[in-house]
Amino acid sequence: MPVDPGVVPGYFPGHRETVSRESRGVIPDAIAYSSYSASIVPFMGRIAELATLERQVQQARAGHSEVLMLRGEPGIGKTALLDRAAAGAEGFRIVRVRGVESERELRYAGLQLLCSALPDCLARLSGGQREALDAVIGLGDGPPDRLVLGLATLALLSTAASGPPLLCIIDDVHWLDRQSAEVLAFAFRRLAADALAVLLAAREGVATQELADVRTVHVKALSYAESRALMTSHIRGRVDEAVIGRIIAETRGNPQDLLDVVRGISAADFAGGFGVGVASGCSRGSLEGLIDQLEQLPAESRLVALLAASDPTGDPALQWRAGKQLAIPTNAAARLESDGLVRFGPRVTFDHPAARAALYALASKDDRRLAHRVLADATDSEAAPDRRAWHRALAAYAPDDELAAELELHACAACERGGRSAAAAFLERATMPTLHSGQRVERALAAAAAKFEAGAPDAAARLLVAADVGTLDAARRGRLERQRAQIAFANRRGNDAADSLLKAARRLEVTDLSAARDSYLEALVAAVFAGRLGRGSDTKAVAAAVPAGAPAGAEPAEDLLDALVTRFRTGSLTANQQVRRAIAEMRSVDSHATARWLWLAALAALDVCDDESWQALAAAAHDSALEAGSLTVLPYALTQRAIADLHRGEFKAAATVIADADAVSAGMGTPPLRHAALLLAGWGGHEQSSLALFGAARRDARDRGEGSILTAVSLGEAVLFNGLGRYDAALAAARDAVAHDELGLPGLAMSELIEAAVRCSDLGAAQCTLDALSERAAAFGTDWALGVVARSRALLSEGDTAERLFKQAIERLQQSQVTVHLARAQLVYGEWLRRQGRRIDARPQLRAARDAFAAMGAEAFAERAHREHLATGEKVRRRAVETWGELTPQESRIADLARDGLTNPEIGERLFISARTVEYHLHKVFEKFGITSRRELYLVLEQAAKASPAQRPAERADVLEPLADSEVA
């Protein structure tokens, strides 16, 4: 969806939305920010600029006009800073215009854009001023008087700022026509006491004399450390430091150029810099200027440029050695520098980042082979044998078994330098020159496995096609079938993958027991994801098919397989000790075979309520997958990390991790893992957006056959409806979630079912589930399990027994890492105390729960705790006039309208918000003033009206705060 000038980016759990501001300059109530949504990633090296922009906006909010110009080279981040300022201008009316190069010679073209963005304000101007601006936009007759036009523009901006504060953003000021710039400068100089901030942006070095007296901030290039941080934040896996250094030097601290390079090069190219990477946007038409430059160069200079383009490290010594082999005169490089193409310093860099890839793409194949041949000969075979082999491969004309063996030999070294993507690139390249059929199949299978792990399932599938035409014995046939099944599961996560993986495991048992057991574990995982929608082999069938016992000296992952087999054969209680031993082994051993399954060990820890191991394994799984560049594993690791963060109460961190997981999955072309996003939506409590997410996830899961998603949806719904107090709906959802024996999530749903059943007076269902939950807690013995079961049993108890259990639950959960469940225990204990008539005792528990939920972003639970807290009758603040300055602009406006006698629905209609939102803010107002009725509100506002104006903030009639989806009626 294209972004309009008035667009504000917002984030929701698991996906991103684009929210457009309406002409009134407020955010519609139907689309609002999530309080726990991931904030925009902080800008690298822009702390001072962001602080300046924030001060600018705050000054406008306080009623003081400010004008600021950002200057910098193209791509330095001016527009991004303006976007950030707009995103942070809550309650402002935002107007954005942009200078257009092709309209620079059109008189008043820029001013016409500004008028068009403020049609309602234009209509409110007086006759002469309106006529002057009408002439500018083509609706009037005759040329406007420049003085009247300047005053009319000033009046237009002041009128626009008379409601909510106004943020006026003008980008690409250097393309404004001179007449518009003069009029705007006239108006800007006369701004003073309006709630108005004007932010301008122009290129460095481009004259804008009309606005020369505007305060200017120069946006500088990023430092090396900042550039490196920005670059590595957009790359998953290892990158050779030499390649990082060359790219940073070439982009010279320009963030947009840096990101363009990062996005235009494949993972294999980045992994150690093996490969040049031809930019996808380098069409011949867009490179005409560069082609003309190259055609005018002497042949020796063109060859020097090609050598520079063919080496990803930018090593000048390597360039000179290669040039010497070709007997290129030393002055050939001078022409490149004088023409502004290439710089020869500590690194060989191109003046424009795209020039390297473009020049390489324009060269003939023969010239490229020549360049790589001499670079291979010039590369030190002891210091960088992998680079030498890579250049040799790119220089080869014909199949060469010796070269293929050399590439295969150095794949491990490449992996050390650049991770799994680098190893995959070497193994794929080794397949091409291999003549022997058996060796070619072997290398193709190895390359396919590496490509798959590096997050390139389509490339892996193509290599399997090459392997399938060769000589396949039983062992290779088994590996090929397993890899095909792996790719099919990754591409769809459908309900038929378990059968394919199980078939491959049985075939491999004859030739490779270790690979067979790994395939059995993969089949079990596929069955877990298929869940209730499984077709063919479910978890019990797969567990029954696994041969008993891991061989001596087996990897911890094989013990994890045996533990999970026992768990699905006999149940989680019987398998508890075996599962916990396997989890401990997975935490203690550091190997690639173990690291691949750390995320599954984390899920097993969740299944037995071992929160300490769960948190540790989730973090380790994420770190190891990222370090190794195992992109296929990374989404699973990120999902476990997000769910662990969520239960620790870190909703923002969870949302960020979910966005990362979605980005990895999108890059691979595989379905996103929605489990964490669904749970986050449930805990967030935003009914409208959550239900939309649940519905879409349910449809997608049924289409693909991923039954575990249905369980996650039901658990998310149970949490959501318990938070909203809709216990009948929560009970139905929780019943669905616990009905299926799946790993991890059904156990979380049991306490949701008990709470909902108690509230619905279905004590039979509550007691039955409590018995099962108690049995689990006794077996697992963790503070988490025992705390949750104590909380649940307290809900079914009375008197001293109930209170003892509530206290026991809180004490246990305080020792755990599941903060969300601690807050839930404090909430239900506070509710119980209030219903026992012990309002004073209830207040600390409810206050703690409310504050914890609010800090997390669990808005439905926070509001539930807030209502209960108010019901205890506590007066949080007993102040009247002096409290007025602490009201937000939204609260002030609602308080005024309530005093005037408007009902909540009428206030909501006036302010474009829901009646429920009005009620929420009125509760806040009552709490701040220490009152309980609208009649008292009238009295305190009358007192406030008599206070000194200096004691009151500037009133803005239509300022709205961002609203959470849970507040939408």
What is the rounded average pLDDT of the residues 845-874? 91
- Alpha-carbon distance 508 to 248, whole Å? 47
- Helical pair 513-530 and 556-570, crossing angle rounded to 10 deg: 40
SS3 198: strand
Q: Percentage of the chain surpassing pLDDT 70?
A: 84
- Among 24-33, 156-165, 223-232, 690-699, the range scoring the smallest mean pLDDT is 24-33
Q: What is the pLDDT of residue 9?
A: 25
pLDDT at site 946 = 54
Average pLDDT over residues 254-260: 81
| Average pLDDT of the residues in 336-352 | 84
pLDDT tens digits, residue range 791-826? 999 999 999 999 999 999 999 999 999 999 999 999
CB neighbour list of residue 43: distance below 8 Å, 6 or more residues apart: 49, 50, 77, 80, 81, 84
Cβ burial of 864 (10 Å; 0-12, 13-18, 19+) is buried
- The C-alpha atoms of residue 539 and residue 740 are separated, in whole angstroms, by 11
Residue 616 pLDDT > 60: yes
The better pLDDT of the pair 685, 359 is held by: 685
Provide, for the chain, the percentages of residues in helix, strand and coil under a 3-state DSSP scheme, each rounded to the nearest 5: 65, 5, 30
Stretch 200-214: mean pLDDT, rounded? 83
Digit-coded pLDDT (tens) for 902-943: 787 777 666 656 566 677 778 878 877 777 777 677 667 766
pLDDT confidence bin for 730, thresholds 50/70/90: very high
Structure tokens at 256: 């947009």
Q: What pLDDT, on a 0 to 100 scale, did the predictor assign at position 89? A: 85
Q: CA-CA distance, 659 to 661, in Å (whole number)?
A: 5
* More confident position, 276 or 771: 771
Higher pLDDT, 551 or 858: 858
Coil, strand or helix: which one is 352? coil
- Number of neighbouring beta carbons within 10 Å of residue 101: 9
Which segments of 257-411 are extended strands (E)? 342-344, 348-350
pLDDT at 83 over 70: yes
| b (16+ CB within 10 A) / e for 256-266 | bbbebbbebbe
pLDDT, tens digit (0-9, with 9 covering 90-100), for 510-527: 888 889 999 999 999 999
| Residue of 763 and 919 predicted with greater confidence | 763
Q: Which residue has the tokens 């949490």?
A: 719
pLDDT number for residue 221: 87
Q: Report the pLDDT averaged over residues 418-432.
A: 83
Give the model's confidence band at 20: pLDDT under 50 very low, under 70 low, under 90 confident, else very high.
Answer: very low
Q: Is residue 240 predicted with pLDDT exceeding 80?
A: no
Average pLDDT over residues 540-563: 85
Residues 880, 940: contact at Cβ < 8 Å?
A: yes
Residues 6+ apart with CB under 8 A from 836: none
pLDDT at 26 over 50: no
pLDDT tens-place string over residues 484-519: 999 999 998 988 899 999 999 999 988 888 899 999
pLDDT > 50? residue 127:
yes
Tell me what pLDDT residue 909 has: 62
Measure the CA–CA gap between 795 and 784, rounded to whole angstroms: 17
Residue 694 has pLDDT above 70, yes or no: yes
> Quick one: three-class SS letters along 786-809?
HHHHHHHHHHCCCHHHHHHHHHHH
Structure token digits, residue 124: 């409110």
Q: Is the pLDDT of residue 763 over 90?
A: yes
Neighbours of 120 (CB within 10 A): 12
Locate the DSSP E strands across 273-412: 342-344, 348-350
Cα–Cα distance measured from residue 322 to residue 304, given in angstroms and rounded to the nearest whole number: 9
pLDDT at residue 274 tops 60? no
Mean pLDDT of the chain: 82
pLDDT tens-digit readout, 376-405: 999 988 888 888 988 998 898 888 888 988
Q: What band does 223 get if pLDDT is binned at 50, 70 and 90?
A: confident
Q: Could you give the 3-state DSSP secondary structure of residue 95?
A: strand
What span, in angstroms and rounded, lies between the C-alpha atoms of 266 and 668?
12
Q: Which residue has the higher pLDDT, 277 or 145?
A: 145
Rounded mean pLDDT of 193-220?
85
Check the CA dihedral 546-549-554-559 and report its sign.
positive
Window from 12-26, 343-357, 756-770, 877-891 with minimum mean pLDDT: 12-26
How far is Cα 429 from Cα 420, in angstroms, rounded to an integer?
A: 14
Q: What confidence score (pLDDT) does residue 353 get?
A: 67
The confidence score (pLDDT) of residue 259 equals: 80
| 438 or 832, higher pLDDT | 832
The dihedral formed by the CA atoms of 506, 513, 488 and 442, expressed in degrees to the nearest 10? -120
Whether 770 and 792 have beta carbons less than 8 Å apart is answered as yes
Q: Kindly state the percentage of the chain with pLDDT values over 90.
A: 37
* CA Rg value for the chain: 33
**Interval 630-658 mean pLDDT:** 93
Residue 411 above 90 pLDDT?
no
